[in-house]
Amino acid sequence: MPARPTTASGKRVRLDAIDLKILRDLQEHGRMTNVELAQRAGISAPPCLRRVRALEEAGYIRGYHAQVDPEALGFEVLFFVLVGLDSQAQEVLSAFEDEMSNWREVRECHMVRGAGDFLLKIVARNTAHENEITTRLTSARHVTTVQSIQVIRSGKNRPGVPVDME
């Protein structure tokens, strides 16, 4: 079981129903005002803001972002790639992760067990761009296998995790 997040002072944060509601609402509607968030949580704005800051400090909230439409910016292809490396030595794994962190098209890089060493989520402008990325990947240091899986359509794409009201 993972450790509960703590504040910078090391104090553990115990989540109650209001905290869970705040997390769920922020995850679903990150641009809502603190006043609206407080109303939805059933508390006034000042304690709601204190709770949000405590959730941020404790590590429950990592940050905020806008969900941008990739196609509107010219990225028409989404694909996943299983990558196998010639070694599982820590320096090889770390070097691969470092290299992938510099590739703008690589949106996610996960070390996996079972089918290869890494699973990458990649965006490309078109299939020619996808092929160029795949060619670059196959020639990357320590890469031995590359299995590409192109997404036809996405029936569900929800960021975050389920936040249950217990």
Task: Assign 3-class secondary structure to 4-43.
Answer: CCECCCCCECCCCHHHHHHHHHHHHCCCCCHHHHHHHHCC
Answer whether residue 78 shows pLDDT above 70.
Answer: yes
How far, rounded to the nearest angstrom, does the alpha carbon of residue 42 sit from its chain's CA centroid?
29
Rg over CA atoms, the chain: 20
Mean pLDDT of the chain: 92
Element (H, E) at 164: none
Answer whether residue 50 shows pLDDT above 70.
Answer: yes
- Range in 72-81, 92-101, 141-150, 153-162 the model is least confident about: 153-162
CB 137 within 8 A of CB 146: yes
Predicted TM-score (pTM) of this structure: 0.82
**What confidence category does residue 159 fall into, taking pLDDT thresholds of 50, 70 and 90?**
confident
Q: In whole angstroms, what is the distance from residue 116 CA to residue 159 CA?
A: 24
**What confidence category does residue 75 fall into, taking pLDDT thresholds of 50, 70 and 90?**
very high
Q: What is the pLDDT of residue 6?
A: 55
Other Cβ atoms within 10 Å of 120 Cβ, number: 22
Counting runs of H as helices and runs of E as strands, what totals does the chain give?
5, 4
Q: What is the pLDDT of residues 17-45, one digit of tens each?
A: 999 999 999 999 989 999 999 999 999 99
Q: What is the pLDDT of residue 14?
A: 84
Q: What angle (nearest 5°) sits at the alpha carbon of residue 110, between those of residues 125 and 70? A: 25
CB 117 within 8 A of CB 85: yes
**What confidence category does residue 9 fall into, taking pLDDT thresholds of 50, 70 and 90?**
low
Q: What is the pLDDT of residues 88-114, one digit of tens each?
A: 999 999 999 999 999 999 999 999 998
Helix (H, G, I), strand (E, B) or coil at 95: helix
